[in-house]
Structure formats: structure tokens, C-alpha cells
Amino acid sequence: MESSSTNPPSPPQLLLFFVLLIWLAAAAIVAGMAAAFLPSTWPEAARSSLVVALLAALLLIPFGGFALLTRRPGWTAACPLALILVGVGVYITIDAVIRAIAGPPQAEGTYLLPLSGTTLRLILLTPAALLLGGIGVWWSGGLRSRGELRHALGLNLPGPLGLLLSLAAIAILTLGWPLTGALGDSWTTQLLLIQTLAQTLPEELFFRGALLALLLTFNVQRSTFNVRFWPLALFTYLAFTPSLIVPHGDWAKLTWLFTALPLTWLLLELRR
């Protein structure tokens, strides 16, 4: 994706963006800790709703302020960064609302949502990720056709390298099946696959599709982009990950931070 239309942001604008990313991670942790101070006698739905509302306010108010700041002279170059922050805030809010509606994970030590949460992620969060990404890239002036939209969001046909990597990953996951058996009966296997798809598809579309598309609108050389902007994609996902603990205090999900570095680097190289 070589076309671009936006000058890169200035160092002070990048610094403010990084500060807001730190705030993104801190706000999620604060909201998660606040849940522990709510009376345990309150209904779970009320506790979850308050925590989600707190997180939404902590994110959307400062991110909205940053978006308004980009309307001032000299700050228009930071518009894609503001769109990223606002989009992440809205995405996190929708994601947290779905977790609040679905309830805690099905069993201790697992990260899969109940079936209601799986359904909501597929019919609400996945289209929301596409919509937020499409609006963001269009707003930044990086689209002229539907084909460019598909390419920007990573929905074009994969190249040979991407296809081979996907097949290799599937093969690795199934290597043990001849020895240990599959995941159970056919219904259990299909259900786990659907739950995994619902868990990962929205994140891939938004954080490694729309987010990268917005960063690629900056008018910079490839070498400069790799040095200055791929860390933005990495740190944005790192800052997003703590939000997964809201509203049920699933602190074990912070271990997902270890997947951010290799996946972000790989997806960035495949997109260029």
C-alpha cells in the first residue's frame, strides 16, 4: 500500500499520542481495580455496567479532546492518530459491553466467552470493527474506491507468503491430534473454532487492519515508516490489551501481551 496523503505528525504530536496510549492502558487497569471496591452484594449486572461506564468515560473524554485538538492549525497532521484513539476507545467500549452482557468466561482458566458473547462478537463487534476502520480511513482521505477500502482493511486476497504461513500455523495446531485425539466430538470442535474466530476476528480486522491502514496514510518512505510508525501499531495493541480485564477482573488475559510483538511485526511486513 504505497499511496498516502498525510504528512507525518510532529514529534510533540507523537509524544502526546504515546502519553494517551499510556493513559489507555492505565485507565483499563484503574477500571479493573475499581471493580474490586464495589459492594459484592450488588448484582453482577450493576457492577459490570458501572465498570464499563467508568472505562468508557476515562477513554472517550480525553480521546475526544485530542480529536478536537487536531482541528486547530498546525495539528491536522495528527488527525489519523486521533482517529486511531477514538476508534480504539469506541471498540473497547463495545467489547466491554459485550463481555458484561455475556458474563464471566465459561470456566476458570479459560478465555472463551459464553455462546451469547460469541454471537454478539460476531454480529456486533466484527461489523463495528469494519465500520470504524472504513470511516477512519475515509475520513483521513486515504480512499478513492472500494478496492482501496478492501486493501486498506486487509481484506484483499492473501499473497503466497500469507497463505503458506496460515497453512503452517494450522498444521502446527493439529500435529498432536493423531496421538492425543482432536478436541472432542464434532460439535465441541466446531464450537471451539467458532468461539476462537469470534475472539480473534474483530481484533485482527481492527488492530492489524484498520489501524495499520491509518498509519500507512502517512507520506513517508518505507524505511522511515518501519522505524517510526510500526512501534505505534505495537504500542497501541499493548495499550489495548489491559482492557480485556474489564469488567470481570480477568487479570490472566494480560499474558496476551506476549503475542503482540511477533504478530504486529509479521502483519506489518505482509501489509507493505
pLDDT computed for residue 2 by the predictor: 39
d(CA 112, CA 245): 13
Residues in Cβ contact with 121 at an 8 Å cutoff, skipping those fewer than 6 apart? 95, 98, 113, 198, 199, 201, 202
**Helices and strands counted in the chain (H then E):** 13, 0
Pick out the chain residues at pLDDT < 50: 1-4, 108-111
> The pTM is what?
0.79
String of b and e for 212-247 (b: at least 16 CB within 10 Å)? bbbbbbbebeeeebeebbbebbbbbbbbbbbbbbbb
pLDDT computed for residue 19 by the predictor: 95
Rg (alpha carbons) of the chain, rounded to whole number: 19
d(CA 232, CA 198): 25
pLDDT computed for residue 135 by the predictor: 78
Report the length, in residues, of the chain.
272
Phi, psi (rounded to 5 degrees) for 6:
-125, 135
d(CA 266, CA 237): 14
Neighbours of 8 (CB within 10 A): 18
DSSP letter (8 states) at residue 38:
S
